[in-house]
Amino acid sequence: MTATISALLADSTTELTALSGGAAGVDVRALLCHVLGQPSSYLYTWPERKLTAAQLAQFRQLFARRLQGEPVAYILGYRDFWTLRLNVSPTTLIPRPETELLVEQALAVLPATPCRVLDLGTGTGAVALAIASERPDVTVVGVDLMPEAVALASRNAHDNHLSNAHFIQSDWFSALSDMNRFEVIVSNPPYIDGDDPHLQQGDVRFEPASALVAEESGLAAIRHIGQTAPTYLVDGGWLMVEHGYNQGEAVRAAWKDAGWPDAKTQQDYAGLDRITLAQRL
Ligand code: GLN
Protein backbone atom coordinates (compact mmCIF):
# COMPACT_ATOMS: atom_id res chain seq x y z
CA MET A 1 0.00 0.00 0.00
CA THR A 2 1.22 3.50 -0.78
CA ALA A 3 0.24 6.74 0.92
CA THR A 4 0.95 10.35 0.18
CA ILE A 5 2.22 12.79 2.76
CA SER A 6 -1.02 14.78 2.67
CA ALA A 7 -3.25 11.72 3.06
CA LEU A 8 -1.20 10.39 5.96
CA LEU A 9 -1.18 13.81 7.61
CA ALA A 10 -4.94 14.17 7.35
CA ASP A 11 -5.91 10.62 8.38
CA SER A 12 -3.42 10.28 11.20
CA THR A 13 -4.22 13.71 12.62
CA THR A 14 -7.93 12.87 12.69
CA GLU A 15 -7.24 9.55 14.37
CA LEU A 16 -4.94 11.04 17.01
CA THR A 17 -7.12 14.11 17.66
CA ALA A 18 -9.93 11.80 18.75
CA LEU A 19 -7.61 10.45 21.44
CA SER A 20 -5.31 13.23 22.51
CA GLY A 21 -6.82 16.53 21.35
CA GLY A 22 -5.28 19.77 20.17
CA ALA A 23 -1.61 19.09 19.44
CA ALA A 24 -2.23 15.98 17.32
CA GLY A 25 -1.20 17.70 14.06
CA VAL A 26 2.11 18.81 15.56
CA ASP A 27 2.80 15.26 16.74
CA VAL A 28 1.96 13.66 13.39
CA ARG A 29 4.16 16.14 11.51
CA ALA A 30 7.05 15.48 13.91
CA LEU A 31 6.80 11.72 13.33
CA LEU A 32 6.52 12.14 9.56
CA CYS A 33 9.51 14.48 9.42
CA HIS A 34 11.52 11.98 11.42
CA VAL A 35 10.63 9.08 9.12
CA LEU A 36 11.32 11.13 5.97
CA GLY A 37 14.49 12.68 7.39
CA GLN A 38 13.19 16.08 6.28
CA PRO A 39 12.33 19.41 7.93
CA SER A 40 8.65 20.30 8.37
CA SER A 41 8.68 22.63 5.34
CA TYR A 42 9.02 19.50 3.18
CA LEU A 43 5.56 18.32 4.25
CA TYR A 44 4.03 21.49 2.85
CA THR A 45 6.05 21.66 -0.35
CA TRP A 46 5.71 17.96 -1.28
CA PRO A 47 2.24 16.93 -0.07
CA GLU A 48 1.68 14.58 -3.02
CA ARG A 49 4.94 12.66 -2.51
CA LYS A 50 4.51 9.02 -1.56
CA LEU A 51 6.35 7.33 1.28
CA THR A 52 8.37 4.25 0.42
CA ALA A 53 7.10 0.97 1.84
CA ALA A 54 9.85 1.05 4.47
CA GLN A 55 9.04 4.62 5.47
CA LEU A 56 5.36 3.82 5.70
CA ALA A 57 6.03 0.77 7.87
CA GLN A 58 8.23 2.84 10.17
CA PHE A 59 5.65 5.62 10.39
CA ARG A 60 2.89 3.15 11.25
CA GLN A 61 5.04 1.62 13.99
CA LEU A 62 5.87 5.01 15.58
CA PHE A 63 2.31 6.25 15.19
CA ALA A 64 0.95 3.14 16.92
CA ARG A 65 3.11 3.99 19.94
CA ARG A 66 1.76 7.56 19.91
CA LEU A 67 -1.78 6.18 19.80
CA GLN A 68 -0.96 4.27 22.98
CA GLY A 69 -0.22 7.64 24.59
CA GLU A 70 3.59 7.57 24.55
CA PRO A 71 4.97 11.13 24.21
CA VAL A 72 6.48 12.03 20.82
CA ALA A 73 9.70 13.11 22.54
CA TYR A 74 10.21 9.62 23.99
CA ILE A 75 9.34 7.97 20.67
CA LEU A 76 11.85 10.09 18.78
CA GLY A 77 14.38 10.24 21.62
CA TYR A 78 14.82 14.00 21.43
CA ARG A 79 13.13 17.34 22.03
CA ASP A 80 14.18 20.79 20.91
CA PHE A 81 14.56 23.35 23.69
CA TRP A 82 15.86 26.91 23.29
CA THR A 83 18.29 26.53 20.36
CA LEU A 84 19.36 23.03 21.34
CA ARG A 85 18.37 19.51 20.36
CA LEU A 86 18.34 17.42 23.53
CA ASN A 87 18.33 13.67 23.95
CA VAL A 88 15.50 12.64 26.26
CA SER A 89 14.63 9.38 27.95
CA PRO A 90 11.81 8.15 30.19
CA THR A 91 14.12 8.72 33.18
CA THR A 92 13.83 12.49 32.70
CA LEU A 93 11.12 15.08 32.29
CA ILE A 94 10.54 16.24 28.71
CA PRO A 95 11.70 19.87 28.42
CA ARG A 96 8.74 22.24 28.03
CA PRO A 97 8.60 25.55 26.16
CA GLU A 98 7.38 27.49 29.21
CA THR A 99 10.62 26.57 31.01
CA GLU A 100 12.49 28.79 28.53
CA LEU A 101 11.26 31.66 30.74
CA LEU A 102 13.60 30.40 33.46
CA VAL A 103 16.48 30.60 30.99
CA GLU A 104 15.52 34.13 29.93
CA GLN A 105 15.32 35.33 33.52
CA ALA A 106 18.63 33.74 34.48
CA LEU A 107 20.31 35.39 31.50
CA ALA A 108 18.72 38.72 32.42
CA VAL A 109 20.16 38.80 35.96
CA LEU A 110 23.55 37.19 35.26
CA PRO A 111 26.46 39.61 35.75
CA ALA A 112 28.23 40.51 32.51
CA THR A 113 31.47 39.08 33.89
CA PRO A 114 32.38 35.38 34.08
CA CYS A 115 30.44 33.75 36.92
CA ARG A 116 28.74 30.56 38.07
CA VAL A 117 25.25 29.11 37.76
CA LEU A 118 23.76 26.12 39.59
CA ASP A 119 20.82 24.17 38.12
CA LEU A 120 19.08 21.92 40.67
CA GLY A 121 17.26 18.84 39.35
CA THR A 122 18.68 19.35 35.89
CA GLY A 123 17.08 16.31 34.19
CA THR A 124 18.08 16.45 30.53
CA GLY A 125 20.24 19.48 31.39
CA ALA A 126 17.90 21.71 29.39
CA VAL A 127 18.07 24.86 31.52
CA ALA A 128 21.75 24.49 32.35
CA LEU A 129 22.72 23.90 28.72
CA ALA A 130 20.61 26.74 27.34
CA ILE A 131 22.32 29.15 29.75
CA ALA A 132 25.73 27.65 28.96
CA SER A 133 25.08 28.06 25.22
CA GLU A 134 24.29 31.78 25.57
CA ARG A 135 27.15 32.50 27.97
CA PRO A 136 30.31 30.57 27.06
CA ASP A 137 32.15 32.56 29.77
CA VAL A 138 29.85 31.24 32.51
CA THR A 139 30.40 27.93 34.31
CA VAL A 140 27.18 26.03 34.80
CA VAL A 141 26.84 23.14 37.23
CA GLY A 142 23.77 20.93 36.93
CA VAL A 143 22.88 18.41 39.63
CA ASP A 144 20.36 15.59 39.67
CA LEU A 145 19.50 12.80 42.07
CA MET A 146 19.20 10.26 39.24
CA PRO A 147 22.49 8.95 37.79
CA GLU A 148 20.65 8.34 34.48
CA ALA A 149 19.80 12.03 34.28
CA VAL A 150 23.41 13.02 35.02
CA ALA A 151 24.60 10.72 32.21
CA LEU A 152 21.98 12.05 29.79
CA ALA A 153 22.70 15.70 30.59
CA SER A 154 26.43 15.07 30.12
CA ARG A 155 25.69 13.48 26.76
CA ASN A 156 23.59 16.50 25.80
CA ALA A 157 26.47 18.81 26.73
CA HIS A 158 28.79 16.73 24.56
CA ASP A 159 26.40 16.52 21.59
CA ASN A 160 25.82 20.29 21.70
CA HIS A 161 29.55 21.04 22.06
CA LEU A 162 29.09 22.82 25.37
CA SER A 163 32.17 22.39 27.52
CA ASN A 164 31.19 24.98 30.15
CA ALA A 165 28.36 22.86 31.64
CA HIS A 166 29.14 20.08 34.11
CA PHE A 167 26.80 17.57 35.67
CA ILE A 168 27.06 15.75 38.99
CA GLN A 169 24.88 13.39 40.97
CA SER A 170 23.52 15.12 44.06
CA ASP A 171 20.42 15.18 46.25
CA TRP A 172 19.74 18.89 45.76
CA PHE A 173 22.71 20.64 47.44
CA SER A 174 24.12 17.53 49.19
CA ALA A 175 27.18 16.99 46.97
CA LEU A 176 28.19 20.66 47.02
CA SER A 177 30.64 22.19 49.44
CA ASP A 178 29.47 25.37 51.13
CA MET A 179 32.62 26.83 49.64
CA ASN A 180 30.67 26.66 46.35
CA ARG A 181 28.93 29.97 45.79
CA PHE A 182 26.92 30.82 42.72
CA GLU A 183 25.70 34.05 41.18
CA VAL A 184 22.45 32.38 40.08
CA ILE A 185 20.67 29.25 41.27
CA VAL A 186 17.87 27.99 39.00
CA SER A 187 15.55 25.03 39.30
CA ASN A 188 12.59 23.42 37.62
CA PRO A 189 11.85 21.08 40.51
CA PRO A 190 8.94 18.68 40.98
CA TYR A 191 5.96 20.79 42.10
CA ILE A 192 2.77 18.85 41.39
CA ASP A 193 0.64 17.54 44.24
CA GLY A 194 0.41 13.73 44.17
CA ASP A 195 -3.40 13.86 44.00
CA ASP A 196 -3.53 16.27 41.06
CA PRO A 197 -5.70 14.75 38.26
CA HIS A 198 -3.29 16.36 35.75
CA LEU A 199 -0.96 13.41 36.49
CA GLN A 200 -3.45 11.00 34.89
CA GLN A 201 -3.54 12.83 31.56
CA GLY A 202 -1.36 13.06 28.48
CA ASP A 203 2.44 12.94 28.40
CA VAL A 204 2.94 13.22 32.17
CA ARG A 205 1.67 9.64 32.63
CA PHE A 206 4.90 8.47 30.97
CA GLU A 207 7.27 10.84 32.78
CA PRO A 208 9.09 9.97 36.02
CA ALA A 209 7.06 10.87 39.12
CA SER A 210 10.29 11.96 40.84
CA ALA A 211 10.54 14.84 38.36
CA LEU A 212 6.90 15.87 38.76
CA VAL A 213 5.51 15.16 42.20
CA ALA A 214 6.44 16.72 45.53
CA GLU A 215 5.05 16.45 49.06
CA GLU A 216 3.40 19.33 50.90
CA SER A 217 0.91 20.15 48.11
CA GLY A 218 3.78 20.11 45.64
CA LEU A 219 5.86 22.64 47.57
CA ALA A 220 8.36 20.45 49.45
CA ALA A 221 11.23 20.78 46.96
CA ILE A 222 10.69 24.51 46.41
CA ARG A 223 10.59 25.05 50.18
CA HIS A 224 13.82 23.06 50.70
CA ILE A 225 15.54 24.97 47.92
CA GLY A 226 14.44 28.31 49.43
CA GLN A 227 15.71 27.32 52.86
CA THR A 228 19.07 25.98 51.70
CA ALA A 229 20.00 28.24 48.79
CA PRO A 230 21.31 31.24 50.79
CA THR A 231 24.40 29.23 51.84
CA TYR A 232 25.29 28.70 48.19
CA LEU A 233 24.66 32.18 46.79
CA VAL A 234 27.04 35.13 46.62
CA ASP A 235 25.81 38.42 48.07
CA GLY A 236 23.49 39.87 45.45
CA GLY A 237 22.98 36.41 43.90
CA TRP A 238 19.61 35.28 42.56
CA LEU A 239 17.44 32.28 43.25
CA MET A 240 14.67 31.38 40.77
CA VAL A 241 12.34 28.41 40.42
CA GLU A 242 9.59 27.32 38.09
CA HIS A 243 6.27 26.33 39.69
CA GLY A 244 2.60 25.68 38.91
CA TYR A 245 0.31 28.40 37.54
CA ASN A 246 -1.58 28.47 40.86
CA GLN A 247 1.41 28.33 43.24
CA GLY A 248 2.87 31.85 43.03
CA GLU A 249 1.40 33.04 46.31
CA ALA A 250 2.24 29.82 48.17
CA VAL A 251 5.85 29.90 46.93
CA ARG A 252 6.29 33.51 48.03
CA ALA A 253 4.82 32.66 51.44
CA ALA A 254 7.13 29.64 51.85
CA TRP A 255 10.16 31.68 50.86
CA LYS A 256 9.17 34.53 53.16
CA ASP A 257 9.41 32.09 56.06
CA ALA A 258 12.84 31.04 54.74
CA GLY A 259 14.13 34.60 54.82
CA TRP A 260 13.26 35.87 51.32
CA PRO A 261 10.81 38.72 51.97
CA ASP A 262 11.04 40.28 48.51
CA ALA A 263 10.38 37.34 46.18
CA LYS A 264 8.55 38.21 42.97
CA THR A 265 6.46 36.00 40.69
CA GLN A 266 6.54 36.30 36.91
CA GLN A 267 4.13 35.08 34.29
CA ASP A 268 4.84 33.00 31.23
CA TYR A 269 3.74 33.83 27.68
CA ALA A 270 0.39 32.19 28.38
CA GLY A 271 -0.13 34.83 31.10
CA LEU A 272 0.19 32.25 33.91
CA ASP A 273 2.29 32.52 37.08
CA ARG A 274 5.33 30.44 36.21
CA ILE A 275 8.49 31.44 38.07
CA THR A 276 9.34 33.09 41.37
CA LEU A 277 12.68 34.79 41.93
CA ALA A 278 14.46 36.50 44.78
CA GLN A 279 17.79 38.23 45.34
CA ARG A 280 20.10 37.52 48.28
CA LEU A 281 20.88 40.94 49.71
N1 GLN B 1 4.84 21.95 34.06
C2 GLN B 1 4.87 20.51 34.08
C3 GLN B 1 3.49 19.95 33.92
O4 GLN B 1 2.56 20.53 34.41
C5 GLN B 1 5.50 19.99 35.36
C6 GLN B 1 6.94 20.30 35.44
C7 GLN B 1 7.50 20.04 36.81
O8 GLN B 1 6.92 19.39 37.66
N9 GLN B 1 8.64 20.60 37.03
O10 GLN B 1 3.31 18.94 33.29
**Phi, psi at 194, each rounded to 5°:** -60, -25
Identity (one letter) of the amino acid at 122? T
Do 38 and 94 share a domain, yes or no?
A: no
pLDDT digits (tens, 9 = 90+) for 252-279: 999 998 999 899 999 998 899 999 999 9
Do 37 and 121 share a domain, yes or no?
A: no
What is the chain's alpha carbon radius of gyration, rounded to the nearest angstrom?
20
In a domain, 10, yes or no: yes
Average pLDDT over all residues of the chain: 95
Between the CA of 213 and the centroid of ligand 1 the distance, in Å, is: 9
Do 29 and 92 share a domain, yes or no?
A: no
In a domain, 74, yes or no: no
Dist. CA 77–CA 88, nearest whole Å = 5
Nearest ligand 1 atom to the CA of 211 is: 8
Assess contact for 142 and 153: CB atoms under 8 A.
yes
The response to whether 273 counts as a known ligand-binding position is: no
ipTM: 0.92
Q: What is the pLDDT of residue 191?
A: 98
Do 201 and 274 share a domain, yes or no?
A: yes
184 CB burial (10 A radius; 0-12, 13-18, 19+): buried
CATH of the domain at 63: 1.10.8
Do 153 and 41 share a domain, yes or no?
A: no
Per-residue pLDDT averaged across 242-251, rounded? Answer: 97
Per-residue pLDDT averaged across 54-65, rounded? Answer: 97
Per-residue pLDDT averaged across 9-19, rounded? Answer: 92
Do 238 and 188 share a domain, yes or no?
A: yes
Does ligand 1 come within 6 angstroms of the Cβ of 241? Answer: no
Last residue of a domain, one of 26, 41, 69: 69
- Within 10 Å of residue 269's Cβ, how many Cβ atoms? 10
The response to whether 260 counts as a known ligand-binding position is: no
- Binned at pLDDT 50, 70 and 90, residue 178 comes out as confident
Whether the predicted pLDDT of 250 surpasses 60: yes
For 87: left if phi > 0, alpha if psi spans -120 to 50, otherwise beta; the answer is: beta
pLDDT digits (tens, 9 = 90+) for 126-160: 999 999 999 999 999 999 999 999 999 999 999 99
Between the CA of 191 and the centroid of ligand 1 the distance, in Å, is: 7
* Stated pTM of the model: 0.94
Dist. CA 199–CA 144, nearest whole Å = 22
**Phi, psi at 171, each rounded to 5°:** -85, 95
Q: What is the pLDDT of residue 1?
A: 53
Considering only CA atoms, which residue is closest to atom 5 of ligand 1? 212
Do 50 and 100 share a domain, yes or no?
A: no
- Within 10 Å of residue 161's Cβ, how many Cβ atoms? 7
Per-residue pLDDT averaged across 33-62, rounded? Answer: 95
Q: What is the pLDDT of residue 2?
A: 66
Last residue of a domain, one of 15, 46, 69: 69
Per-residue pLDDT averaged across 187-213, rounded? Answer: 95
Domain of residue 65, residue span:
5-69
CATH of the domain at 168: 3.40.50.150
Identity (one letter) of the amino acid at 233? L
Per-residue pLDDT averaged across 20-40, rounded? Answer: 91
